[in-house]
A and B are shown apart, each in its own frame.
Chain A
Amino acid sequence: MKKTTVSKYLRRFLPYLIVIAAFIVCQSMIKTGAMPRTTKALLIPVCVYIVMAVSLNLTVGISGELSLGHAGFMSVGAFTGIVIAAYFREAFGAPEAVQLLMAIISGGVLAGIMGVLIGVPVLRLQGDYLAIVTLAFGEIIRNILNCVYISIDGKALRFSFNRPDLPGKLLFRGPSGATGVSRIATFTAGFLLVLFTLFVVLNLIRSRSGRAIMAIRDNKIAAEACGLDVTKYRMMAFVTSAALAGMGGALFGQNYSTLAPSNFSFNASILILVYVVLGGIGNITGSIIAATVLYVLPEELRAFSDYRMLVYAVVLIAVMLLTNNVAIKNFLASLRGKGSEKSERKDGEAV
């Protein structure tokens, strides 16, 4: 009896344990100087992409809607965060931690609002049509950002559309994006954001609402017949995912001194989707591992220079072919079958 509860809790808190263990290892490597500078530079983006992958998994895996515009929410969060952080610095002289916190909160809120605006039309559609509309919204966000200019003039923020001649200091200039960002993101902040994301997503999945979301994913008509408010629950997953993506984006924005809207193209959305699919759809731990490995892999493959993305593409195709190969699937299933039989027997003994 005791053993099963221990393993149950272990499984339940596995994502947290992995993240905390990884954080402790990384921090101790940084303190002892064992970590090369190139790897250290990857830590914050890895945290951001974990947040992105876990939040996208909420839409794609838990809610079952293929979204191809996740980078759009990320960009909204990133540029909101940059502007808000600069505002707090210039207007109030706030300390960096406050700037970063405000950036992340505002990025999350604005991306969440965008999530509501986009979710209303998007969630009326299904399947491939839903996918293409999320793609379209991602591109629209990028296109509109290309025309926006924001400046800070004393204590006022000034916005304009397609007119760069704003008074004060320009914070965001259309296609060239934000330049001269103060880079206040820290690894600890990234770690805390990952924990926060896991907390939100895992608790949502295990709640009554989470079960409703998954029921709608599995059979929409049956769920509706059971009295579930389909739109409400789909919206809940979509907006939560968007807000978390905005928070990740806000942290991402504070990690680079220059950032342009073109950094958040369709390819960026696809990259995140690849993490989710390779990590296992609906599997949060898988998303964490896949985001880490697949973000670090191309960076570490720089030794191959020109060939690295080619290798990456081949790995991607090979993984898909192998995981879907019938012979390998059967082999894995037979292994798992034996394993579960054993564990069942063990459970029986323990009882």
Chain B
Amino acid sequence: MTMFLSNLISGISLGSVYAIIALGYTMVYGIAKMLNFAHGDIIMVGAYICFCCLYSLGFSPFVGILASMAVCTLLGILIERLAYKPLRQATSLSVLITAIGMSYFLQNLAQIIWGANPKSFQTVIPAGNVSLMGGELKISYVSLVTIAASVVVMLALSLFVGRSKMGRAMRCVSEDKGAAQLMGVNVDLTISVTFAIGSALAAIAGVLMCSAYPTLKPTTGAMPGIKAFTAAVFGGIGSIPGAMLGGILLGVIEILGRAYVSSELGDAFVFAVLILVLLVKPTGLLGKKIQEKV
């Protein structure tokens, strides 16, 4: 029982990281209607920036996180302006290939700057754990902070999108870009802000992920990026609560699958569940069904 609970909590913790990444994916998809494959690599850049601040410059973890968020935000805006904005009228496949090119670019740039050898990322969160149930169940601070961070991010994002003026603009643009523009919404600015928020979230996710799984390589972001994309689709792409739900479910399924089915088949298990869900509910758990018209 305690074993199960402990696995469940590490699953939720991993899932929270996926959820934060998936939020970025789903927002960008909702507004720009593109799969931003470079999103996973922004996680990696965020983690590297934090690593540099902590070890080369000797800043405190708090400054490190802020710095990595700032750099990733700028990076996100820059990528959107340089690579994606000229392609707004292009076919979705061209945009996809550009995003893949961006992903290669970031990975290889990181490899040139920081080298291909994995770096050992030491946690920004104090080590230690909370003991529950008479010391049988131990929850590490990293897990607690990760879960708390994702809840805070989720709430803040829901409030922002639901209540603020910019959030309303985002919802308008995601519904109908042309009509939003006619109503006086600054579409370019809105898309830039979306990329900025998504990238800042990716930076947080990168730091949290490397605190829990401390190996940092130029390809660190690739697999979590794909899984977060899966999580976003799982929950219904374009939906913010869906991304959160999908991310956490995915993390729990992965950890429980590794623990109880087969340690090698964890990823296969995740993807198999995804396929089953999509077969039963082709728009994801919380996705809206759009009726196809002739």
Contacts and interface: CB of A to CB of B under 8 A. Distances in A.
Nearest to A147: B264
A139 B248 CA distance: 20
Given A121-B275, A128-B35, A266-B226, A313 B105 contact: yes
B100 interface: yes
Contact of A310 (B86, B112, B278): B112
Contacts of B294: 219, 221-222
Interface in A312-351: 312-314, 316-317, 320-321, 323-326
Contacts of B265: 143-144, 147
A316 B104 contact: yes
Nearest to A131: B35
Interface in A266-310: 266-267, 270, 273-274, 277-278, 281, 306-307, 309-310
Interface string B258-286: 00001011011001101100110011100
B123 to A, nearest CB: 28
A131 B229 CA distance: 11
A173 to B, nearest CB: 13
Contacts of A139: 226, 267-268, 271
A88 B43 CA distance: 48
A256 interface: no
Nearest to B233: A132
B237 interface: yes
A309 B264 contact: no
Given A132-B229, A324-B86, A125 B94 contact: no
Q: How large is the interface on B (under 10, 10 to 19, 20 to 34, 35 or more residues)?
A: 35 or more
A72 B101 CA distance: 21
Q: How large is the interface on A (under 10, 10 to 19, 20 to 34, 35 or more residues)?
A: 35 or more
A162 B265 CA distance: 10
Given A310-B105, A310-B108, A310-B112, A320 B97 contact: yes
B267 A125 contact: no
A343 to B, nearest CB: 27
B106 to A, nearest CB: 8
Interface of B: 29, 35, 83, 86-87, 89-90, 93-94, 96-98, 100-102, 104-105, 107-109, 111-112, 222, 226, 229-230, 233, 237, 262, 264-265, 267-268, 271-272, 274-275, 278-279, 282-284, 292, 294
Interface of A: 60, 66, 121, 124-125, 128-129, 131-133, 135-137, 139-140, 143-144, 146-147, 162, 174-175, 219, 221-222, 266-267, 270, 273-274, 277-278, 281, 306-307, 309-310, 312-314, 316-317, 320-321, 323-326
